[in-house]
Amino acid sequence: MNENTKILLAVIITAAICIPVTYLVSGSDNDEGADSVTLSVAGSTTVLPLMSVYAETYEKYTNVTLEVTGGGSGAGASAVINGTASFGMLSRDLKQSELDAGLKATVIAKDGVAVIVGSDAGVTNLTLEQIAGIYSGEFTNWNQVGSTVDATIAVVTREDGSGTRSCFEEVMEAKDPDYELKIDATVATSTGTVVTTVEGNPNAIGYVSFGALDRLVNATAVDVGGVAADTAFVVDGTYELQRNLLLATDGEPTGSVEKLFSWILGPEGQALVEDEGFIAVK
């Protein structure tokens, strides 16, 4: 066997070994052969940071591109119903009207809703009744809810259609059937805006996802009814302000969406759930 023949044989053997391995690493998760796939995603600003991490990670080993935008849970559901999104992100359960429209929910994580206060509020614990009273306007000064601070409470809420607001108000209404949000509350259009607004006013109160707690610098999460805002207490049910995080599809997920959801519910996807401060479902 001459030298050229030996070199050619070595190249053929190397190719035979490497090609299957390359396919196992990067090709087995590819959708629709070699064609690229773009999935549009809209909805909850609570889920958005997690979905952005999913996009960055999943795109590394597939030919799937995720185009992710916010807008709130209601907007996410509507986008799927209207056919403008491949799937929607929601930080609440589907409403009956959305189920009637054919939406199907896939729960990807659980989350708590933390009540946060500005640096001068002077409270570390509030009961659900006190929180409902603050948001309805019954209590307007911090000294009415156990603080030594004599200052007007600045109430910050989320916009209509927000899954976080929906969860918060369901719990408030369960405690007080006559609960109604005060008309002069400041409305924030995203989780990040709530954090910024509360941190910018030392006498403010707001509510955010547990996943946003690591962003806090000049605000703190209070205990609710003596229970700390901790994922362990969401799991055991003692922390009452909690909800599901889910992805909504028009009917059962199929094709590229189904493969993505399977990955999200698998070990890597659920590890990222916990990395982002949420609670894994698997």
Round to whole Å and give the CA distance between 60 and 53.
Answer: 11
To the question of pTM greater than 0.85 for the whole model, the response is no
Residue 52 in any domain: the answer is no
Residue 75 in any domain: the answer is no
Residue 227 in any domain: the answer is yes
pLDDT of residue 61: 87
The 10s digit of each residue's pLDDT in 26-43 is: 233 444 445 799 999 999
Residue 74 in any domain: the answer is no
Round to whole Å and give the CA distance between 194 and 263.
Answer: 31
Round to whole Å and give the CA distance between 244 and 281.
Answer: 10
**Calculated CA dihedral for residues 187, 189, 192, 195, nearest 10 degrees:** 10
The 10s digit of each residue's pLDDT in 262-279 is: 999 999 999 999 999 899
pLDDT of residue 27: 31
Rounded alpha-carbon distances, angstroms, from residue 204 to 114, 119, 130: 14, 8, 15
pLDDT at 58 over 60: yes
Residue 93 in any domain: the answer is no
| Domain at 204, CATH number | 3.40.190.10
pLDDT of residue 1: 54
Q: Which domain holds residue 221?
A: 111-242
Round to whole Å and give the CA distance between 129 and 179.
Answer: 10
Look at the chain and report how many structural domains it folds into: 1
Q: Which of 175, 54, 47 is nearest to 111 (CA)?
A: 47
The 10s digit of each residue's pLDDT in 178-235 is: 999 999 999 999 999 999 999 999 999 999 999 999 999 999 999 999 999 999 999 9
